[in-house]
A and B are shown apart, each in its own frame.
Chain A
């Protein structure tokens, strides 16, 4: 299964473990629970990416880079650099990491995912512009390739724009 999709259709869903790119126009959308949506945008290139990261660490496992925080972010950065972007020119926003159903216990994958994504972003030299993390509800995250606008919707709580 290909994990990297570049299309110019209007709206494209980004499934679990996928990383999708759009240039100039259109919208990328991910439905998140404990997963983290990583939105990157280069205004100069009008290049948008959305990664749907499922787990914090690859731990040597095979698989598409979009599955794991430690592989997804370096991969996304490399794609931006290949197209001529600089680190300083990439705007990064993240959302998700919910503890769905509020289940207690030591295994809180949403929190672990969020921390792993933040650590990997810092390691890659990227500055996190804004975040919308935690809670116990799912999120719909979207990024517009023409404008770079990122929206996060939570059922019953409305929609928020991430700056």
Chain B
């Protein structure tokens, strides 16, 4: 696709994000007793108008855990689950049956938020260590909303200053099967450049 940044330029970023994904996958594996893991799907850069279509989160409500990175190394980390996979993950963590179609309990919200915390922090810790730069995330927030509304909000902050947005997508797996559950990472232009500089000097 012509709008995606050439692979060669992305290679340093991809190397770092693969390391971050590996650390997050290990954390997820431990947290879920070996049931769930993660794999890096793609890292690409595209015009900001195209991000929501490209990563197609549909127009149905999604369950998300959102963390924002504060300036100067800003960015957004969004865990996105469809309703079923979100409920299955929460239920397995709590040792319960998957509940029928009913509102999310505080306990289930907390289980998913803690998942975001563990996976997100492992991911960001790996980046922090490789960059030698501290990243400061906000506490994870549980969000039940349209996926495109949340992803769009993350994109808007980039759209104010840049024409293109870098997005890294990581999928969740359970017992070998890929789930409708993913981790999206959108670093700001400044953070992306910091990563590129750090990795190219290695």
Q: Chain A at the B interface: mostly helix, strand, loop or mixed?
A: loop
Chain B positions 141-168 with a Cβ under 8 Å from a chain A Cβ: 141, 143-150, 152-153, 155-157, 159-160, 163
Contact of A138 among B53, B149, B160 (CB under 8 A): B149
Size of the chain A interface, CB-CB below 8 angstroms: 28
Measured CB to CB, the nearest residue on chain A to B146 is A138
**Does B29 have its Cβ within 8 Å of any Cβ on chain A?**
no
The answer to whether B159 touches A138 (Cβ under 8 A) is no
The answer to whether A109 touches B160 (Cβ under 8 A) is yes
Smallest beta-carbon distance A110→chain B, Å: 9
Chain A positions within 8 Å of B52 at CB level: 15-16, 31
The answer to whether B144 touches A156 (Cβ under 8 A) is yes
Contact of B146 among A31, A63, A101 (CB under 8 A): A31
Chain B positions within 8 Å of A98 at CB level: 149, 153
The answer to whether A101 touches B153 (Cβ under 8 A) is yes
Smallest beta-carbon distance A32→chain B, Å: 6
Contact of A13 among B50, B59, B147, B149 (CB under 8 A): B59
**Does A47 have its Cβ within 8 Å of any Cβ on chain B?**
no
Known: A1-B47, A16-B49, A35-B152. A101 touches B143 (CB 8 A): yes
Size band of the B side of the interface? 20 to 34
Smallest beta-carbon distance A63→chain B, Å: 8
Measured CB to CB, the nearest residue on chain A to B56 is A13
Chain B positions within 8 Å of A34 at CB level: 152-153, 156
Chain B positions 44-63 with a Cβ under 8 Å from a chain A Cβ: 47-53, 59, 61
Smallest beta-carbon distance B22→chain A, Å: 28
**Does A132 have its Cβ within 8 Å of any Cβ on chain B?**
no
Most B C-beta atoms less than 10 A away, residue of A64, A98, A100, A103: A100
Chain B positions within 8 Å of A16 at CB level: 48-49, 51-52, 152, 155, 159
Chain A positions within 8 Å of B50 at CB level: 1, 15
Chain B positions within 8 Å of A67 at CB level: 49, 159
Tell me the B residues contacting A by CB distance below 8 Å. 47-53, 59, 61, 66, 68, 141, 143-150, 152-153, 155-157, 159-160, 163
Chosen A-B contacts, 8 in total, with CB atoms closer than 8 Å, are A17-B49, A31-B146, A34-B156, A35-B156, A98-B153, A100-B145, A101-B66, A140-B146
Tell me the A residues contacting B by CB distance below 8 Å. 1, 13, 15-18, 29, 31-35, 54-55, 63-64, 67, 98, 100-101, 103, 109, 137-140, 155-156
Q: A109-B157, A155-B145 are in contact. List 5 more A-B contacts (CB 8 A).
A: A29-B59, A33-B149, A55-B160, A103-B68, A155-B146
